[in-house]
Amino acid sequence: MTEPSTAGSRMPKVPHGPFRPGDRVQLTDPKGRINTVTLQAGKVYHSHKGSIPHDEIIGSPEGSVFRSSGGTEYLAFRPLLADHTLRMPRGAAVVYPKDAAQILAAADIFPGARVVEAGAGSGALSCWLLRAVGEHGAVSSYERREDFAEVARANVEGYFGGPHPAWRLTVGSLEDALTDTDVDRVVLDMLAPWECLDAVAKALVPGGMVCAYVATTTQLSRVVEALREHGNFAEPYAFETLVRSWHVEGLAVRPDHRMVGHTGFLATARRLADGVRPPARRRRPAKGAHGETAETTPREPAAEADLSGE
């Protein structure tokens, strides 16, 4: 994989320490409502609950409390990456934090990894990948639509405070534009990931991993079957995650009535060594799972029951 050039550029740092002009700050009221402001000297934050001069916030540490002119207290923190991705301007739909976390874990994104991403969407997953690979890794993102690519670039640079030297964004389809080789991981967030498995297999190193993020059961079925039929991948693993928060107030401990349910499915598979065929699966499919005329694995004879009582 061609490394993005880092000559003459430094890895951008997420701001920390006291608030400074230009920082984005989340002001949270007692009811948990969040307002995000960009600090500027001489400016004032206004709401129906009063105002807070930016100059009062600048120079204060994170976690400070500020009282508005109307007497309401606001808690001030810089946004987390999860906050940034949920509130960023969108071209395509963003990968939600719960799915981004699973992608980083299930696809084993590690510091120094060489990662290919398609498509870039609004740049949410690109931010998570760049943080995970660190300054010695590389992320190459491919996006078919130029308008989405511009949104993704603005969101990534907005979070990191400028161009990220480990990131390369290419406008074009993965099948046509992918030139990377010796890639450790490939993450596919696209409508038809099964169409680019040949390009993915050529780019991945043996033992590398592909992770497909899809929205529907029909997409999930098709990409998993395509991975099985391709011949260059081990048996895929498919799953989804659901997140449910809990209400905790003294002895009143119960699940909240609302939860973050289905957002997408994930399917992962490892790249086999060249010239190796995956072992035949021994799992017996359900009757009719592959159609009426599909061949199925012969039923293995059942073991005789041991009735001796020993």
CATH number for the domain spanning 120: value is: 3.40.50.150
Q: State whether 60 and 115 are in the same domain.
A: no
Please write the tens of the pLDDT for every residue from 246-293. Answer: 999 999 999 999 888 889 999 999 999 999 988 887 776 666 666 655
pLDDT at residue 146, rounded to an integer: 94
Residue 42 structural domain:
24-79
Q: State whether 213 and 74 are in the same domain.
A: no
What gap in Å lies between CA 238 and CA 222, rounded to an integer?
12
Q: State whether 74 and 106 are in the same domain.
A: no
Does a structural domain hold residue 105? Answer: yes
Q: State whether 90 and 131 are in the same domain.
A: yes
Rounded to two decimals, the pTM is: 0.83
How confident is residue 10, by pLDDT bands cut at 50, 70 and 90? low
Does a structural domain hold residue 71? Answer: yes
pLDDT at residue 212, rounded to an integer: 98
Closest Cα partner for 202 from 177, 228, 180?
180
Please write the tens of the pLDDT for every residue from 39-83. Answer: 999 999 999 999 999 999 999 999 999 999 999 999 999 999 999
- Are the C-beta atoms of residues 166 and 160 closer than 8 Å to each other? no
Q: State whether 100 and 139 are in the same domain.
A: yes
Structural domains counted in the chain: 2
- Are the C-beta atoms of residues 246 and 258 closer than 8 Å to each other? no
Q: State whether 143 and 42 are in the same domain.
A: no
Q: State whether 241 and 121 are in the same domain.
A: yes
Does a structural domain hold residue 214? Answer: yes
CATH classification at residue 69? 3.10.330.20
Q: State whether 131 and 66 are in the same domain.
A: no
Does a structural domain hold residue 305? Answer: no
pLDDT at residue 161, rounded to an integer: 86
In our burial notation (b when 16+ CB lie closer than 10 A, e otherwise), range 263-286 reads bbbbbbbbbbeeeeebeeeeeeee
